[in-house]
Amino acid sequence: MTDEKIICNYHVHGECGQFHSEIKTDMDVERFPSGKFETNELLIELTILTYNILRMIGQESVGRRQPRHKIKRRRIGTVISNFIMIVSHVTTLARQLIM
């Protein structure tokens, strides 16, 4: 392999490690809840589906605002936090309108 190819593979490996870390920590899937293979398989499939949906939402939100520095992608934890903040803003505004 050429030096450039080795460096490229090294960076791709690091990026895969980041994705794996996001699934484990940000989505709180560090341990399997069951000793049954079928249950754990279902959990992984639902986790992957949820992760991909959150990634798509995160990628869509990257180009919406003008950030201070260039952003390539948002971590899943950031996307989830943004959802929580949006819900809290909507709830606060709804309370103000009712009163």
Residue 23: pLDDT band (50, 70, 90) is: confident
Per-residue pLDDT at 38: 94
State the Cα–Cα distance between residues 28 and 21, nearest whole angstrom. 10
Residue 62: pLDDT band (50, 70, 90) is: low
Mean pLDDT of the region 8-17: 82
3 burial type by CB count under 10 A (0-12 exposed, 13-18 middle, 19+ buried): exposed
Residue 65 above 80 pLDDT? Answer: no
What pLDDT digit, counting tens, does each position of 38-52 carry? 999 999 999 999 988
Portion of the chain with pLDDT greater than 90, in percent: 11
Per-residue pLDDT at 31: 86
Q: How many domains does the chain have?
A: 1
Please indicate whether residue 93 or residue 70 has the higher confidence score (pLDDT): 93
Per-residue pLDDT at 69: 61
Show the domain range for 41.
Answer: 3-98
